[in-house]
Each structure stands twice: as structure tokens, then as C-alpha cells.
Chain A
Amino acid sequence: MSQQDPVERASEDEEPLHFEQASWQTSEETYEPLLSEKGTSEVTVESPLPDDLTRDSVELPEVEEPELARHYTRLSEMNYGVESGPFPLGSCTMKYNPKFTEDLAARPDASVHPDRSEQASQGTLQVLHELQGYLADIGGMDAVTLQPPAGAAGEFTGILIAKAYHEANGDDRSEVIVPESAHGTNFASAAMAGYDVVSLPSDENGRVDTEALDAALSEETAALMLTNPNTLGLFERDIEEIADMVHDVGGLLYYDGANLNALLGRARPGDMGFDVMHYNVHKTFATPHGGGGPGAGPVGVVEELREFLPDPHIREEGDTYERYTPERTIGKVHGYDGNWLVLLKAHAYITRLGDSGLTDASAKAVLNANYLAEQIDYEIPFGPFHHEFVASAGEQDAADAAKRMLDFGVHPPTTKWPEIVPEALMTEPTEIESKRTLDQLAAAFDAAKSSSGETLADAPNRTAVGRIDQTEAARNPRLSWQALDE
């Protein structure tokens, strides 16, 4: 990385950024042609099957391996990942993804079929069983299922468990309460499970408004879904009171694990009164997010809810591991046992760090967020925050500020959410950044803050493409290369 100040470097406007690659521009229209533009061929299908059971022809790209390698290498160079530079995307916990976990996932004995016998799958089942145990301890839960393939799938699973629990008690409840500032998935997952969603406003300090909660709670409340620390990075200090309030009406308390990286080794959802929770292993436990997925969203529950866990759950009997069907299982939320290779990487990460590493990860994540916040000029209305903070771009459009930051070779924060902060810049540097990188990041924030309206509107200028017309993309949807000719 250049020693030069990033602001100075950007102002000189000469060295192309890693993902800019202007030298490859092959035409006015595009940097790297589509595979279809490199050449396709259409072949007539001749098959051992009767003609009426086959298609007539197939048309696909026709590219030899060296050209294919160059194609994807060029595409990768127009993409920004954690190893490209700082990635302080709030709520997403973009940590470094340790390489050795990839090597473990690439082992042939990690790739077995889910339908082989338990006896022949002891290695896989042991990894899963150990991970169930690790996560239960970390979350203060009594049992954990690894089946949900993403955080949102974990939410859906957790709410289905809550529903099954209430129904088993002969209790038909209709509502799930979700704070206004929660992740959109909370609302959608509760609705998928058949609940009416009751939205809960924040108080003036950015936390749960307990008076509003009291008004929202009733015999209809199946669950309250909370993140703690919340999306502003604030710890819900009244969590015990909140738990009592929810439990007093017979509801369950659900923990969204998106922000668990703030608490490792210092506080556990189970100890705060949460009954059911999901973990985002692609956040807290450093599995790579793969450009949108795969993740994994294990769900932890207290003892009373164990019998409702998805089928199968894994247990140890003597010195062997086996699958069993929990007595009152909700059934399945994934065709098999979830995103196995992701779970394997999470297991390896936890094994590597242990107590001391996990505890230090949270300490450094919180240290980094607080240090970065000290260095930037944007106002941060709420605190004290933990692993992330939400700054306000003030009079600027937060999306513009973010585009401007791209010109300094850093990834910007999450923008315009949560809405409680006007023009929000939700920032989570994670523990992996050094002081020096945080200083560079701060310089990029400050450069955006001091940019003129004209400069902001024009940004970014040093990326593979300039500002993209989102309205045109939605108004005239062209979702395949076939549609480009229309």
C-alpha cells in the first residue's frame, strides 16, 4: 500500500486504483466484454433419449480455458473485497477471512454426501456437534441447530420455533414486535412465519422505548426481536426489564446475532434473558461472504425450546455422533443440514482463536470503532457505541458521501440506515484494521465531508465505472444478455 496520504494521492489523480484497471478498456462501452460477446455457439442436441424427451438445441458461451481464466481474473480486478482495503460496512462485520479455513474446506474428506450413513460420516458429524457446543457456550444457549443457511433463514427458523412453542401450549398468538431500526429481514421473516408485525419506535436515546413496548405487548405477542447492541451500536441497558416485560405476557425474546461481534466473552444473549437467537457466522466468525453469500445462520435456544429444533439435530451417544429427530420438531428449513462448508470454516476459526482470541476480537472491534469515531469530522449523534457507530452526513446526501469515499480507495460505510440518524453513515471497521489504516479511512471520511456539492454529485471518478443510473436499471429492466438486444 502506498505510504502517501490517500487524500493527496486522490488529488493527484494518476495512479489507478486497484479496481479501476483503465488500461483494459477495450471499447467505449465496456471494460470486459460479456462471455456472450466473446462468442457463443448453438449446438443441436443429439441424445440417447427419444427426441420428444429432449430439447432441440443449447446455446452457451464458447470460451477456451485460458480466455476463461483471463475473463474471471479481469472481473475479479473490478471487484473490491476485504483484501482490497478497509471495508467498514456497518452491520456486516467484514473481517479478514483466514486462508487456512479455505484449505480445510477444500479437503476431499470435507466433501461427502449427506445421505451416507452416520457411521461413515463421523468426522462431519463431530465437527457439527462441536460447533453446536461452541456456539451454545458463546451465546449462553442450551442447544443450537446449524441448519439455517443464512441469517434471515435463522430468523425464520427461530420464529417458527417460537410459533411451535406457543401452539404446543395451546396458545395461538398473532404478533411479533420489531423495533423500527431493525434489519429488514426481521420484519420479512416474522411475516413469512404468519405473524402480523408490530413496529416499535426508539426512544430519544436511540434505545427501546419501554413505554412504547409496554403499550405494544399483549397476549397476542409471540415474540420481540431485538439486536443488542442495537443498530446504533448502543447496548440496550434495560435488557433485563425488557426481558421481564416480554416474558410477563408469555412472549419470547429473540436475539438477532448481527451484532454479536461486539460482545464476545463479555455478555451472552442467554444471560440477558433471550430465549432464541441466531448467529451470523459470516459476520462474527469470519467466514467469507462470497459477494452476497453463502452465509450460515445457526439458531440457539433455551432448554424449553430444544424439542422444537429442526430435523435432524446432532447428538453424541457414547463415542459416536448421531442424528435424531427432536420430539416436536418444526421440520426442515434447508433440504439437508445447511451450508456445511461455511459451518466448517466457522468451526476452524473458533478453534483457532479460542476464548482469548474471541474476547480480544471484540475488544479490538470496539476499540477500532471508538478510535475511528474520534478521528472523523462527521457528527455522531448517539453513544456510547460499541463495534459500530452511525455518523450523520448532515446536509450532504449520505449516498453521495459514500460515492466520494470510493475515490480514496476505501469501501464506504452502510448508508441511509438506520433512519433514526439523518443521512446515516453506519460504520463498522471490525478488529482487523490497524491504527494506520483507520487513520487513512478517517482521511477519506473527512475528504468526503469537505467535498463540494458538485464534487459529491460527480463521484466516483476513479472506479471501473462512474455513477450508475439506478432509475434506468429499474425502469427498463435488462436482466440477461438476451435482453440487451431488446
Chain B
Amino acid sequence: MSGRSASGSPYAPHTDAETAAMLDAIGVSDEEALFDIPDAVRFDGSFDIPARSEQAARAEVAATLGRNDDLVEFLGRGHYDHYVPSVVDHLSDRSEFITSYTQYQPEVAQGFLQALFEFQSMLVELTGLGLANCSMYDAATALGEAATLAARLRSVSGTRVLVPDLLHDGRRSVLENYVTGTDLAVETYPTDDANVDSETLRESVDESVAMVYAENPTVRGTVEENLDTVGTLADDHDALFTLGTDIVALGVLEEPASVGADVVVGDGSALGLPSAYGFGLGLFACRDDREFLRQVPGRLVGASEDDTGRRAYTLTLQTREQHIRRERATSNICSNQAWVALRTAMHAAYLGPDGLVELANDCVRRAQETAARLDALSGVQAPVHDRHHFREFVAQVDQPAETVASDLESEGYAVHAVDDHEVQVCVTETNEPALDGFIEAFAEVTR
């Protein structure tokens, strides 16, 4: 570009003449004169990062990414890969969406606000709960936020948070960190064949419990059969029942409100995003009683009117939030995952009710059929748990699980090794086309 110095930022449009004119208008001789930094803390070194052309930068990063092995992944355990329709990529990448900011000027952000309002509405429909926020970072932090909500609402009655012994390590660790500033203590309750052990749970729930957490499907892919019991126990002892799930499972599994859930958290990115190294979307829905409305974390989009009486959308109930309430805010969250929520809403709307139910039913069918095919192999028993499954299941293998996983990787397939002799397998429409080869390889490495 003429007149621009070659070594500058490629995204700063100044010509040398313009820079000179601007410096002149300010009344300084050069750019450095604008920096009011004491000499003692001036940095005179270099980062040793060479500037590159776009072509070179793109090629270099692409080459690095190319070091990821080309595997067919049969991986899940809370992070799922479903086929994302092209229309979601193209529409969500429209620059008016992706390059916009939080909707502090709603009059020029009606599009995103309406999309988030629609996202909240779909979550309300799927959970049966009256209130949904417009995103948390991921399922783990949403669980952490649910616990701090319980602390605000139930601190008088209890301080114990009960979670299943199978809870994903990442979620457990995040939860422990989120309750740092509360009086809550996280405790484990046992599971029975990868479902809630109702009898043991009944013994441990009393008035000292602030929140009981259960998941459906569980991290081992089983469909939870005892949610009614959890809901009743929590209700009887004035504890919150928080249910962890995902947006696809909500399509057919029991409606959270119908089993007495007060809060729903989980992963939304099963729709809208590919498996992206844990990059996700935290769902958060809860009851809409007054106490919840005042204490819910995260941003909320509401409907209102403009000065001509026309419907308009805006961020609302912001007095709960950090930029107003500071240390007494319901959460520190500011940037959230709005763009992922937009994608998830697009994907859900693309599917419609028939498409979502069909996708969810396929998750049940594929897990069942794939488990049966592995079970037919000698030295393999699947599923380990005598339960219904959703999308994934655990298989027992005679060989060490690590060896099976590693041998499968050599054949181009990835599975979880979850215990000494247990592997976990997740099947969706994205890896189903490779299923025959996978079963063959599985037979080979477990022979």
C-alpha cells in the first residue's frame, strides 16, 4: 500500500503523511513522545517474533496444526462432536455478529439481542424451567455458578454440596474452585452401576445440604433412572437440585422440570460447535421465582418497548452484575460465550423439533447397536453397565485399557481408557461412517 511503512501493523491504515499530519495536530514530534512511561520501566528489548505476510503466517500455523494426527475420534465424556450444518458457519460468521460487542447500545444490537432472546426461549422450552441466561463459559463453570447460587439462596439451611463419585475430574476441580468464597463444602455420594444410588443418597441428604447435583446422561453415557428420587429428596430438605445435561439429550430425556430440577447446567456446544479441544458453551437455566431472578448469574436478555411502543430487546436485570454490584455481584462473569450461544440456537432452529428428537434418538440407537457389536467380540463385554445409554458406553476389555486405546490409535481411532480394563466409546453421526473399520480394528487389537 502506498505511503505506509512496511514494518507496521497491517491493520493500521495510516500513511506516513497522515501520521505526520496527526502528530502535527497533536503538537508532538513523534509517536514515542506520546508515551508517558518512566525510563526505569521502559522496555528496550525484543520479543524475537518476526513479522510475516498473511500467506506465511497462515501457512505456518496450518503446518503446526497439521501435526495433529488424523484420527477418527470415538470420544465424548462431556464434550461431543455432532455434524454442524454449513448454514451455521456462514450465518454466525457474518461480521455484524462475530465482530460485535456486548449489547451495551441495544438500539444498534437488536439482531444479536433477539438471537440471544430466542436462545434463552429454546432453553426454557427444553428444560421446562422459566428462566435461562444467555451463556456461561462451559459445563464445568456453569456447575460452579450453580453452587454459588445455592450458597446465596440456601446458605441458611445448608453448606454441603453433594456430587456423584463419577463426576468428571475437570468439573469437580472447577466446582471446588468456584466455592472458594462460600461456606460450601463439596462431598461425594456413591453411584450404583453408573446411576444414582438412591438408598445411600437418601441417608446422606438432610437439612445441612444446600445442593444435590446429578447428571443425565452420566459421564459414562448411562441414562439416569433415579431423577425423581433426587428431586424429591432435595425438595424435602430444602436443597437445590441441579441437573447436568446437554442440549441434544434434552431432546428426548426426561424434562428437567418434571423431575423437580431447580437448576439445569451443562454443555450447549454439542449443537453449534464441532469438538474443539474443550471449547464449549455453558448452559444455565433455573426456576423463575423472584428469589432466583434476583440471584441468577450471567447476562439476561429481556423484551421491552422502544419510545414508539415497538417491541425491542435489551440486556436487563443488570443490577445483579459485576459492573454495577461489584463484590456483591451474583458472578464475576463479563465476557461469556454469546457467539457460541448464537450458533447453538441456529443449529437447534435448523433441526426443529423433529430433527432434534431424531438426533437424540439416534444417540440412543447408535450406543446400543455399537455396544452390541463390540459385545459380540471375544474378550470384550459391552456395555459394562446394565442401563440404557445415550451416545456413549463403557466396554470391558481383557487387555489393559491403555494398551487397547494405544493400539487403536495406531490404527487411526481414538477411545477413552477410563479404568484398568475399561474403555469408553462415543458414537455420533460424525464417526458413524467409520464404524465398520473401527469394529474391525477393535476386534484386531483385543484379539
Contacts and interface: CB of A to CB of B under 8 A. Distances in A.
Contacts of B91: 68-69, 72-73, 76
Given A43-B357, A54-B252, A54-B253, A127 B118 contact: no
A123 B67 contact: yes
Interface string B315-353: 011110111111111011111111110100010111111
A84 B405 CA distance: 49
B18 A463 contact: no
A10 B55 CA distance: 41
Contacts of A104: 58, 61-62, 65
A333 B97 CA distance: 27
Contacts of A482: 121, 124-125, 130
A106 to B, nearest CB: 7
Contacts of A466: 107, 306-308, 310, 312
B141 A149 contact: yes
Q: Which among A263, A368, A477 has the greatest number of chain B C-beta atoms within 10 A?
A: A477
Contacts of B301: 479
Interface string B106-143: 11111110111110111011100011101101111100
A173 to B, nearest CB: 14
B349 A63 contact: yes
Q: Which among B99, B258, B288 has the greatest number of chain A C-beta atoms within 10 A?
A: B99
Contacts, number: 666
Interface string B262-300: 000000000000111111100000001000010000011
Q: Which among A188, A290, A331, A371 has the greatest number of chain B C-beta atoms within 10 A?
A: A290
B71 interface: yes
Contact of A291 (B37, B43, B342): B342
A302 interface: no
Q: Which among A28, A81, A467 has the greatest number of chain B C-beta atoms within 10 A?
A: A81
A15 interface: no
A340 interface: yes
A266 B42 CA distance: 6
Nearest to B108: A80
Contact of B170 (A266, A335, A347, A411): A335
Given A127-B64, A469-B305, A35 B118 contact: yes
Nearest to B345: A35
A83 B327 contact: no
23 contacts: A19-B110, A49-B253, A54-B254, A55-B255, A61-B122, A65-B87, A102-B98, A113-B275, A123-B64, A124-B68, A126-B67, A150-B333, A188-B327, A189-B332, A290-B338, A292-B102, A332-B177, A370-B28, A464-B107, A474-B319, A478-B302, A479-B131, A479-B288
Given A197-B327, A335-B139, A375-B25, 19 more contacts: A49-B252, A60-B349, A92-B101, A97-B98, A112-B277, A123-B68, A235-B37, A290-B338, A291-B100, A292-B336, A292-B338, A332-B173, A352-B52, A356-B7, A360-B7, A364-B31, A431-B12, A435-B22, A474-B302
